[in-house]
Amino acid sequence: MSAPLLSVRDLKTHFTVKQPGLFSDDRIVRAVDGISFDIEPGEVLSLVGESGCGKSTVGRTLTRLEEATSGVAEFEGQDILQMPPAAFRPLRRDIQMIFQDPFASLNPRLTIARTLGEPLFIHKLAKSREEARRKIGETLELVGMDPAVMSRYPHEFSGGQRQRIGIARVMIVEPKLVIADEAVSALDVSIQAQVLNLIKRLQRKSGIAMLFISHDLGVVRHISDRVAVMFKGQIVEMGDKHQIFEAPKHAYTQELLSAIPRVASHREAV
């Protein structure tokens, strides 16, 4: 087996929460409390769990939006948690993030072309404006949008379209690892299906590895190769998708699976 693309060992991210009152001690929230996992190149690993389990913090720590408390995360052999911010910046091209809220993740004051052009210029992936525009157009087509939209502003688009633009921003730099944090949770069911199909298709085509963070087990089953179930800052069960969904071992995984409301019981005839 080849070396993993990302190897996380005993990662901890704790937050200090200031307590009101003069004499009360600060409280420490152990959002992520010692988790380890590997992601192979081209693989989709899902982190699934309920709100507050720390799954989003994992993604934010790996993109250095939060400071890790301890632990190691080796990306292609380099520890990305300890290196100085300046050294990490070139690596941001390889590790990209898709955010949950398509209404908040695009700067309302920038045109789509400027939003998509930004990473191109930062990472020097386009030598001229013309080349940048060509790439932006191609990437917009890739996510199923008309290249002509690049001169418009985010408020002119629906949630689903904005999320496509968010995906374009990630794909345009041809990353090696994409961290998707609840990437389809804010979308209506019919739009969610489109975007989910799109993410899956792009992942298959490009072979990008993905850390897919979600609370929705149906979505997770649809997209992942392997699944890690998180509870209170720790991974309680990790395994192949079929094992997790068809033969869950941990009681919490079983509880999660049984809690999902299903239409299946009514659907036998369909």
DSSP conformational letter for 185 = T
Collapsing DSSP to helix, strand or coil, 222 comes out as helix
Q: Dihedral, CA atoms, 249, 255, 257, 260, nearest 10 degrees?
A: 180
Site membership for other proteins, residue 197 (CB under 8 A): yes
Distances (CA, A) of 24 to 29, 30, 139: 15, 18, 53
Q: How many CB atoms lie within 10 A of CB 225?
A: 18
Site membership for other proteins, residue 54 (CB under 8 A): no
Binding piece for other proteins, criterion CB under 8 A, among 7-15, 21-29, 73-81, 88-96: 88-96
Site membership for other proteins, residue 190 (CB under 8 A): yes
Site membership for other proteins, residue 84 (CB under 8 A): no
Count the site residues for other proteins by CB under 8 A: 65
d(CA 216, CA 49): 8
Binding piece for other proteins, criterion CB under 8 A, among 16-24, 28-36, 133-141, 185-193: 185-193
Amino acid identity for residue 245 in this structure: F
> Which of residues 10, 70, 138, 218 is near other proteins by CB under 8 A?
218
The tokens for 52 are: 């507050």
Quick check: 244 and 92 in contact, CB under 8 A?
Answer: no
d(CA 53, CA 35): 12
> Which of residues 166, 168, 213, 226 is near other proteins by CB under 8 A?
166
> Which of residues 92, 133, 135, 250 is near other proteins by CB under 8 A?
92
d(CA 92, CA 71): 20
The mark string for 229-268 relative to other proteins (x by CB under 8 A, - otherwise) is ----------------x---------xxxxxxxxxxxxx-
Q: How far is the CB of 106 from other proteins (least distance, A)?
A: 6
Q: By CB under 8 A, name the binding residues for other proteins.
A: 50-51, 60, 63, 65, 89-90, 92-93, 95-97, 99-101, 104-110, 118-119, 122-123, 158, 160-161, 166, 169, 173, 188-194, 196-197, 200, 215-219, 221-222, 245, 255-267, 269-270
